[in-house]
């Protein structure tokens, strides 16, 4: 498939086959006339395609393309037999019988009866494919995307060993040598948009949050060495954002356009956290260093704290005074190694105890980076902003991206104003500006520090990846991260 530039992502103004839906979802009833494209495909996307897609064909059966539904898998039974739901293996697997739970989805609740009826009714009517011709292009590992122009890049990340740079593309993640010397892998999946990607703390896995706008959200987990999809999970009916790993590597959190914050267990794929305290899209998440707490930022202009084990909303980390933060928050990052010693004096004398104080950097629509303590130490007073540690000089326009270096002594921020992107590097402790890179056409949507601290990678609207020297702000290298279609010159 040949691609033109996708639109700017919405959040910037812009085996798991288990859906993560709120418990209050209403029962589904089969419409009088069932459409494959409108009705059946949605059921398969939500419940089945996580484990039955080209990148992960469980049982040798693929359910992302109509033609594959008419084939057999390892079970040697035809998935869909037009006109005969009783002979279709798909129905056999998803339909519960008295005293017998449906075999699929695996390790999950059975499909609602109304959704099973949608599939059966469609098959009984002849299982017609009414997919519009303009959306029938197939994209998979054998037919990867081909680009006319570089796509908008919404996320990049260095591997923990500093050898790889992962870049978000269209329907794929591109793995490059960290120095920009070459493309070493293409991880092609279902999601049209990859909004956020991140390597696991040990570097063995790569997670991505994305989806297809207005259709589905998806969490992907890839095996980095094998370049194979380990797990895919369908989540809500819109793109998901702001993915983060817990430092212990056991959990992944993300934000949704239904205003919820969610987290799943990496080993099982089960949802372990659901929090609906935000009133707008959640665009960023980050765990505490001990993995026990989760902070989230939203277009509602707040950063909120949730206890992971209990799913309990604890507090607004930022001020609750209306207008204290102007506009939405778009990015959050945790200082990786911040540690302070707290000295407590009580009736028994002096108790000296070391304690981690997680500090969180946030930024967004007002262009001002701010550093906050994750946990409140004083009684809340209406109008206070007691958790704030530092406020840094404002950058031009909105700040879309933040990244600390390995020891937390510096951070990089990317912003945009009037069609020009900018990256600045600050010292965390005293807010001194170290360097500045200016001149990128269009917004900077993502920045990442190489673990060695010697290079910052940044990318955004123009589709180029740029490697910058954080000491000087000078451009070291720039490259197009995707294969471009050759254009004949007359």
What 3-state DSSP class applies to 258?
coil
pLDDT in tens, 137-195: 678 888 899 999 999 999 999 999 999 999 999 999 999 999 999 999 999 999 999 99
Main-chain dihedrals φ then ψ at residue 276, nearest 5 degrees: -115, 35
Residue-level pLDDT at 13: 32
Residue 276: predicted pLDDT: 97
Share of the chain above pLDDT 70, in %: 87
75/378 Cα distance (integer angstroms): 62
Q: How many CB atoms lie within 10 A of CB 313?
A: 16
Mean predicted confidence (pLDDT) in 468-478:
98
76 pLDDT higher than 90: no
Q: Is omega for the bond preceding 253 within 30 degrees of 0, making it cis?
A: no
Q: Which residues does 32 contact at the CB level (< 8 Å), separation at least 6? A: none
Across the range 391-415, mean pLDDT stands at: 97
- By the 10 Å C-beta count (0-12 exposed, 13-18 middle, 19+ buried), 261 is classed as buried
SS3 46: helix
**Ramachandran sector of residue 108 (left: φ over 0; alpha: ψ -120 to 50; beta: rest):** beta
Instruction: Say how many Å lie between the first and final Cα of the chain, rounded.
Output: 24
pLDDT > 80? residue 14: no
Reply yes or no on whether the pLDDT at 223 is more than 90.
yes
Residues 336/326, Cβ–Cβ less than 8 Å: no
In angstroms, the CA 53 to CA 65 distance is: 9
Lowest mean pLDDT: which of 330-334, 355-359, 424-428? 355-359
pLDDT tops 60 at residue 129 = yes
Mean pLDDT within 194-199 = 98
Q: How confident is the model at residue 280 (pLDDT cuts 50, 70, 90)?
A: very high
**What is the CB neighbour count within 10 angstroms for residue 244?**
25
SS3 10: helix
By C-alpha distance, which of 159, 223, 169 is closest to 191?
169
Kindly list the domain boundaries of the chain, sorted by start residue: 15-135, 146-479
- pTM of the model as a whole: 0.80
Q: What is the DSSP string of 79-141?
A: S--TT-GGG-HHHHHH--BTTB--S-STTSPPPPHHHHHHHHHHHHTT------GGG----SS
Cα dihedral value 109, 114, 117, 118, nearest 10? -100
CA–CA distance from 403 to each of 25, 47, 155, 158, 271 (Å)? Answer: 37, 35, 12, 11, 27
Residue 224 CA, distance from chain mean position? 17
pLDDT of residue 25: 45
DSSP state letters, 386-431: TTEEEEPPPPSBEEEEEEE-TTSSEEEEEEEETTEEEEEEEETTT-
> What is the DSSP code (8-state) at residue 375?
S
Q: How far is CA 396 from CA 35, 174, 413, 433, 440, in A?
A: 49, 30, 11, 14, 13
Please give the torsion angle defined by the CA atoms of residues 282, 286, 290 and 293, in that order, rounded to the nearest 10 degrees.
Answer: -20
Q: What tens digit of pLDDT does each residue of 20-73 get?
A: 443 334 456 667 789 998 899 888 888 888 788 888 888 888 888 888 899 888
| Mean pLDDT to the nearest integer, 462-471 | 98
Please tell me the predicted confidence (pLDDT) of residue 35: 93
Tell me the CATH number of domain 146-479, given options 3.40.50.970, 2.130.10.10, 3.30.310.50, 3.40.50.20: 2.130.10.10
In this prediction, residue 74 carries a pLDDT of: 86
Distance CA 278, CA 248 (A): 26
pLDDT surpasses 70 at 214: yes
490 has a pLDDT exceeding 60: no
Beta strands in 268-358 (DSSP E): 271-275, 282-287, 293-298, 303-307, 312-316, 329-334, 339-346, 349-356
pLDDT band for position 316 (cuts 50, 70, 90): very high
Distance CA 301, CA 322 (A): 9
Asked if the model's pLDDT at residue 399 lies above 90, the reply is yes
Mean pLDDT lowest among 43-47, 100-104, 349-353, 390-394 = 349-353
* HSE (side-chain half, CA atoms, 13 Å) at 258: 17
* Alpha-carbon gap, residue 438 to 29, rounded angstroms: 55
Of all residues in the chain, the percent with pLDDT exceeding 90 is 67
Q: Supply the mean pLDDT for the chain.
A: 88
Structure tokens at 205: 């896995």
The CA-based dihedral angle spanning residues 29, 30, 33, 37, taken in that order and rounded to the nearest 10 degrees: 110
Structure token pair of residue 466 = 């740029």
pLDDT for residue 231 is more than 50: yes
The two tokens of residue 117 are: 């009826």
Q: Tell me the pLDDT band of 132, cut-offs 50, 70 and 90.
A: confident
**pLDDT value at residue 91:** 92
Average pLDDT over residues 123-150: 86
């Amino acid at each position: 498939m040949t691609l033109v530039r996708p639109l700017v992502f919405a959040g910037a103004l812009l085996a798991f086959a288990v859906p993560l839906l709120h418990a209050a979802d209403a029962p589904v009833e089969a419409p009088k006339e069932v459409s494959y494209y409108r009705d059946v495909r949605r059921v398969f996307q939500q419940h089945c395609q996580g484990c039955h897609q080209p990148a992960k064909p469980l049982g040798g059966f693929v359910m992302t393309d109509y033609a594959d539904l008419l084939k057999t898998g390892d079970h040697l039974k035809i998935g869909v037999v037009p006109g005969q739901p009783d002979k279709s293996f798909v129905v056999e697997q998803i339909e519960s019988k008295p005293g017998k739970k449906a075999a699929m989805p695996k390790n999950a609740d059975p499909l609602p009866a109304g959704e099973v009826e949608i599939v059966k009714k469609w098959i009984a009517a002849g299982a017609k494919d009414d997919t519009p011709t303009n959306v029938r292009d197939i994209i998979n590992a054998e037919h990867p995307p081909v680009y006319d122009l570089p796509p908008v890049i919404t996320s990049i990340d260095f591997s923990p060993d500093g050898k790889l740079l992962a870049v978000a593309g269209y329907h794929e993640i591109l793995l490059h040598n960290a120095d920009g010397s070459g493309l070493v892998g293409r991880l092609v999946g279902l999601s049209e948009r990859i909004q956020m990607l991140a390597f696991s703390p040990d570097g063995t896995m790569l997670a991505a949050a994305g989806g297809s706008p207005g259709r589905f959200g998806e969490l992907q987990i890839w095996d980095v060495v094998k370049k194979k999809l380990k797990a895919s999970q369908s989540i809500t009916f819109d793109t998901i954002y702001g993915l983060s790993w817990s430092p212990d590597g056991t959990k992944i959190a993300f934000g949704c356009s239904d205003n919820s914050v969610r987290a799943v267990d990496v080993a099982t794929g089960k949802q372990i956290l659901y929090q609906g305290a935000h009133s707008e899209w959640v665009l960023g998440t980050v765990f505490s260093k001990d993995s026990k707490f989760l902070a989230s930022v939203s277009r509602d202009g707040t950063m909120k704290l949730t206890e992971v084990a209990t799913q309990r909303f604890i507090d607004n980390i930022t001020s609750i005074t209306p207008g204290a933060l102007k506009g939405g928050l778009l990015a959050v990052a945790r200082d990786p190694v911040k540690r302070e010693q707290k000295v407590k004096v009580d009736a028994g004398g002096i108790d000296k105890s070391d304690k981690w104080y997680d500090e969180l950097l946030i930024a967004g629509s007002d262009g001002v980076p701010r550093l906050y303590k994750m946990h409140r130490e004083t009684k809340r007073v209406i109008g206070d902003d007691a958790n704030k540690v530092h406020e840094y000089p404002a950058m031009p326009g909105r700040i879309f991206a933040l990244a600390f270096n390995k020891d937390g002594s510096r951070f990089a921020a990317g912003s945009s104003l009037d069609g020009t992107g900018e990256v600045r590097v600050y010292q965390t402790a005293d807010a001194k500006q170290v360097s500045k890179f200016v001149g990128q056409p269009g917004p900077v949507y993502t920045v990442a520090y190489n673990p060695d601290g010697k290079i910052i990678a940044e990318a955004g609207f123009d589709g180029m990846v740029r490697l910058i020297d954080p000491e000087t702000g000078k451009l070291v290298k720039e490259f197009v991260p995707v294969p471009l279609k050759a254009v004949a010159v007359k």
